[in-house]
């Protein structure tokens, strides 16, 4: 198993892509923190990992802010003593046409996708650098961030921001042995 002994955090791991990534990492031997703001979802992913013979713990921190991002990384350090992989997948939708979008709709989506991705990456990287651990940051973006998406100005802007953030952090962190990549899944 290629990730034996490595610890990974997956945000938004309660369903969909996040749950699949968490299970795949565990299947390769990773020790997984399955984060989802809905604790029951995180626990369900952990139960699936454990029933397949993997090791995982749930976490329900709100990763849309720095305190929550620090908390999910701290959960990983408490459970496994290290963090090697951070997968930034958490997300919400507040779809509205731009002319009908409220500030609350804008702020909520940008907070989860863009601030959350930055804050979680920052928290993980601080430990990786201090411990001189080569790590991996994997950010989930979207085709909407590349091309736009009607009724999703907040989402498209945040996902485009994730791409810019990924490029910048990749350049900043390569000298520390930390890679930063983005994926753009499409179903």
Active site members: 155
Using DSSP, state whether 182 is helix, strand or coil: strand
Using DSSP, state whether 20 is helix, strand or coil: helix
Structure token digits, residue 151 = 């009724």
Backbone angles phi and psi of 74, in degrees to 5: -60, -35
With b meaning 16 or more CB within 10 Å and e meaning fewer, what string describes 131-153?
eebebbbbbbbbebbeeeeeebb
């Amino acid at each position: 198993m290629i990730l034996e002994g490595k610890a990974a955090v997956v945000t938004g791991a309660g369903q969909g892509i996040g749950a699949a990534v968490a299970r795949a990492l565990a299947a390769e031997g990773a020790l997984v923190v399955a984060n989802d703001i809905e604790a029951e979802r995180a626990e369900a992913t952990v139960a699936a990992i454990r029933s397949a013979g993997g090791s995982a713990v749930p976490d329900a921190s709100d990763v849309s802010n720095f305190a929550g991002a620090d908390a999910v990384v701290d959960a990983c350090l408490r459970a496994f003593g290290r963090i090697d992989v951070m997968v930034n997948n958490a997300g919400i939708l507040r779809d509205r046409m731009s002319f009908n979008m409220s500030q609350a709709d804008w702020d909520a989506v940008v907070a989860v996708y863009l601030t959350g991705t930055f804050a979680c990456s920052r928290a993980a990287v601080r430990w990786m650098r201090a411990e001189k651990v080569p790590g991996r940051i994997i950010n989930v973006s979207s085709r909407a961030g590349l091309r736009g998406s009607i009724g999703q100005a907040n989402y498209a802007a945040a996902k485009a921001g994730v791409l810019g953030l990924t490029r910048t952090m990749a350049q900043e962190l390569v000298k520390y042995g930390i890679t930063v990549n983005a994926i753009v899944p499409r179903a």
